[in-house]
Chains A and B, each alone.
Chain A
């Protein structure tokens, strides 16, 4: 029974990684850049929820909604100010800028919110599930993470496959110039991608902080890197890749900390990543790079 319980915790943690990985993978697929500030957008979103609930006494669902809106606009603003002017610059310049934005957000958070850890309020009030006559207890947060992940994936797949904005994203990701010549507003499409990724970051933030009950300006940093790893694991640019990459990463992390060593858990996670990339360099669901003629 304990294995099942670890597996479910792994899937739950993996679900959070998967939602975060979406932000990395969508932005990479369309703008061909790594937005390292994504983890810190998650942190800012969590602070918004924290202050809205504990400071202003706003009910939790409304606080989450506010956080989604704030993160959406934050994502759009970051793209407009920091990345858009570098659209035609070398990818290294964009990468450095993204790291800069990440530190900027962390330090702004330090300045305004302080370094002391905040106790994250109880936002998810779902009752725990008792299975097998109380032998298996699944926390409400765990259930919520898994359900949220599945709903978000279905919603995103539908959005991308069925709506013209989604199709525009696919077109821009495949051939930016040809998309422009079809009359697609490429800047608008990139903004929309950042908006969706950052909006989801707010949800991931709430789930993450509910899991750990703690919030500091560095909360988004390591989970951000792990979510990025999950995106690479699944094949960066691929949405199903983010889903399965996230889940696998979460399960490996929890199982190895349960059965091998909790100190070694992160090392094992990254070792598995290296092995996967050695065998399949484009990730589990990634397409092999095609040569441009």
Chain B
């Protein structure tokens, strides 16, 4: 059984068919790419997979469990985490607190426990802090734990966003244009981080990217979207050399 199975997924906004009849599946531990020209509907696919949009057609299953139409919070609990094209951290909170927000579901105590500061409050908060620091040190951010997220350099903010997503304990990580706005050195570093996340956490990753160096460097398989429809899927190298794909990107 595939980790993620997408079956003829689609969504219309009024008369506009943004994504139509899209199917693909991702195996456990795979690094899968979703590429296509601007406006092809890639982020819309992410928004459907995270419950931000409700698909008007088709289904998607995570480990065989149908998550179609569930709320964003429920999908997060079910094990899908994501990052955004424009980094969306909690900018006014510290780096550590950003990760702790990601841990909310896994380590919990009641509001009353928090208000009355019962022993469980201190124990759980300690566990949260330790877990968050552990995650931060995996990403090399432990020195910046008390820094405001807003004051981190761009590359580190990307890393923090991935760390926060990993804190929700996902089985599938969605990365929306992780290399956007990065210089070649930062992209190189990012590719290392993504590979590391896959190996260290035994993670399955689906990413959207325009940077072909990153896509051909780390993705094992890809799907090309064009005008909301699947153009081609398969092995990264073969797909990227396909005439139709080149045409979709560069025109006739």
Contacts and interface: CB of A to CB of B under 8 A. Distances in A.
Contacts of B77: 183
Given A165-B111, A167-B101, A183-B168, A177 B93 contact: no
B200 interface: no
Contact of B88 (A170, A177, A185, A192): A177
B184 interface: no
A164 B90 contact: no
A180 B72 contact: yes
B86 A293 contact: yes
Interface string B152-166: 000000000000110
Contacts of A192: 111
Given A166-B114, A167-B97, A177-B52, A183 B88 contact: no
Interface residues of A, number: 25
A47 B59 CA distance: 53
Contacts, number: 85
Interface string A162-204: 1111111011001101111111111000001000000000000
Interface string B24-42: 0000000000000000000
A163 B114 contact: yes
B104 A183 contact: yes
B73 interface: yes
Interface residues of B, number: 38
A170 B50 contact: no
Contacts of A163: 111, 114-115, 121, 125
Nearest to B71: A180
B171 interface: no
Nearest to A290: B91
B114 A181 contact: no
From A168, A174, A182, residue with most partner B Cβ within 10 Å? A182
B76 interface: yes
Nearest to B74: A183
Contacts of A184: 73, 101, 104-105
B109 A180 contact: no
Nearest to A158: B117
A165 B88 contact: no
Interface in B50-78: 50-52, 71-73, 76-77
A166 B104 CA distance: 11
A42 B124 CA distance: 35
B50 A181 contact: yes
A174 B91 CA distance: 8
Contact of B125 (A162, A170, A180, A182): A162
B105 A183 contact: yes
Given A164-B100, A171-B101, A177 B72 contact: yes
B104 A182 contact: yes
Given A171-B93, A174-B90, A180 B73 contact: yes
A182 B114 contact: no
B108 A164 contact: yes
A178 B90 contact: yes
A182 B109 contact: no
B164 A164 contact: no
A175 B84 CA distance: 12
A165 B97 CA distance: 12
Contacts of A170: 90, 92-93, 97
5 contacts: A178-B90, A180-B76, A181-B72, A181-B76, A181-B165
Interface of A: 159, 162-168, 170-171, 174-175, 177-186, 192, 287, 293
